Amino acid sequence: MTLYTKFLLLGLIFFLGNLLLPCTSIGQSTSKLSDEDAFFIKKIYNTALKDPIGHQWLDHICTEIGGRLAGSSNAAAAVTYTAQMLDTLGLDVSLQPCEVPHWERGATEIVKIINSPTQGDIPLRALALGNSIGTGNKGLTAQVVEVQSLDDLEALGTKGLAGKIVFFNRPMDPTQIRTFNAYGGAVDQRVYGASRASKYGAIACLVRSMTTRKDNYPHTGVQVYEEGVKKIPSLAISTMAADKLSEMISQEATTVYVKNNSRMLAPKTSHNVIGEWKGSNHGDEIILVGGHLDSWDVGEGAHDDGAGCVQAMDALRILKACEYIPQRTLRTVLFMNEENGLGGGLAYAKTSNEKNEFHLAAIESDAGGFSPRGFACSAEETVFTSRFKKLLESFSLLESYGLYLENGGGGADINPLKSQKGLLIGLRPDSQRYFDYHHTEIDTFDKVNQRELQLGAAAMASLIYLIDKYGL
């Protein structure tokens, strides 16, 4: 198993595991908190909403820089820009090197049903999945076999799949209220489908896009090749294209032509961007707030995860504007390579552990810039209950802002810090529209509402304030 495959699997195991964890609120606080705390949190919200600097930063990241796949020139430009912005806040700014994969999509993908006796050729909108190999310039043509799950492959076997294109068409479950649970229930076919199909002789893989919406925008995303298994091209098609392909398969033997020119190049060195504000009394305890700076190459990476990055930056900007003096060290970290390798998160945790640092809390925003609904927490089992209950004592101050506190959360980039036994916290915005845009060309700046974005930054700044003042 290659190093990057290990990185991907670590992140995916964490991410999918947390999607399916039960999220249960634990108790209610009866502690009496001071009016001073309530007034200060109100000041945080006023500052965030009256002075939407984060929204301005996001505008530049999205519209001036654009998609920021790790290893690309756009990713490097985003590192430079965000480091400059953190410097303007008076933070101690540093760039932390991390090795990242360098994958290129290549020319526009072509997928089409060909030579249908009833309808002729039918184009299907598609995007190569992250880290996929290409078909070569000639493309490939084969009959398509539709399946609903990875288990279906075993039933069909080599006899039914050799020389064929496998089409995974299991949709996300629209009845799930939290759409991340629906995503977790369907994404295995995207991540592992190509290698599983290749074991039975399939020559390519098509996957229904990970969204509940019916549209013609394909959704890319990472896929993982199993070591020792022949690599085959793997592409996602839009939900409308998937429905059309399924309809045609049900009516007649269907042949599809696939062409993509994706390729993996030599790894590159990129950087995490770190901005630090040293604490006054407990400087050896760190409260981290972050998001991931990389995004897929299509679209502008606005909700995933430009929004999370600017919220993390803005959280410290807001506290400075409120003339707050932190007791603990506050650190904004913009991680590189969450999407197709997790290089930044692993490099950060490795260096932190080597320095014997202690992260009392790590807060990540990586679920879109929609209206914040609450936070979800996780930690090493021996400390979770005590730390969670301690946070709950002061969290009642945020309930009036419509926020809840749950167990069962965190984030892919901060999860490697779990061994330090601090609290890992994920911001949970409203999830209903997230997968409309996730990993698509329409994840653009205009889809992010300024007020909703700033409310998320205020929620994170308020949580930092409570943890810093009362500890865990």
Q: Which residues are catalytic?
A: 338
* Phi-psi category of residue 368: left, alpha or beta, with phi > 0 → left and psi -120 to 50 → alpha: left
Give the Å distances, CA to CA, from 349 to 5, 58, 413: 18, 26, 9
* Residue the block writes with tokens 């091209």: 233
Q: Token pair for residue 267?
A: 């790894």
Cβ contact 88:115 at 8 Å: no
Give the Å distances, CA to CA, from 87 to 83, 97, 155, 332: 6, 18, 58, 12
Sorted by sequence, the CB contacts under 8 Å of residue 148 that are 6+ apart come out as: 168, 169, 170
Measure the CA–CA gap between 4 and 343, rounded to whole angstroms. 8
Measure the CA–CA gap between 413 and 291, rounded to whole angstroms. 8
Closest listed residue to residue 203, CA positions, set 271, 262, 258, 281? 258
Give the Å distances, CA to CA, from 187 to 3, 36, 193, 433, 471: 22, 46, 9, 17, 37
Q: How many CA atoms lie within 13 A of 201 on its CB side?
A: 11
Closest listed residue to residue 224, CA positions, set 404, 2, 62? 2
Cβ contact 87:95 at 8 Å: no
Cβ contact 29:396 at 8 Å: yes
Q: Report the chain's terminal Cα–Cα distance, integer Å.
A: 38
Task: Please return the burial class of 4, using the count of CB atoms within 10 Å of its CB with bins 0-12, 13-18 and 19+.
Answer: buried
Measure the CA–CA gap between 344 and 98, rounded to whole angstroms. 6
Output the CA angle 318-412-9, nearest 5 degrees.
165
Q: How many CA atoms lie within 13 A of 308 on its CB side?
A: 29
Question: Side by side, which strands form the sheet with 204-208?
Answer: 120-123, 110-116, 255-259, 140-147, 165-168, 204-208, 234-237, 126-128
Cβ contact 429:458 at 8 Å: no
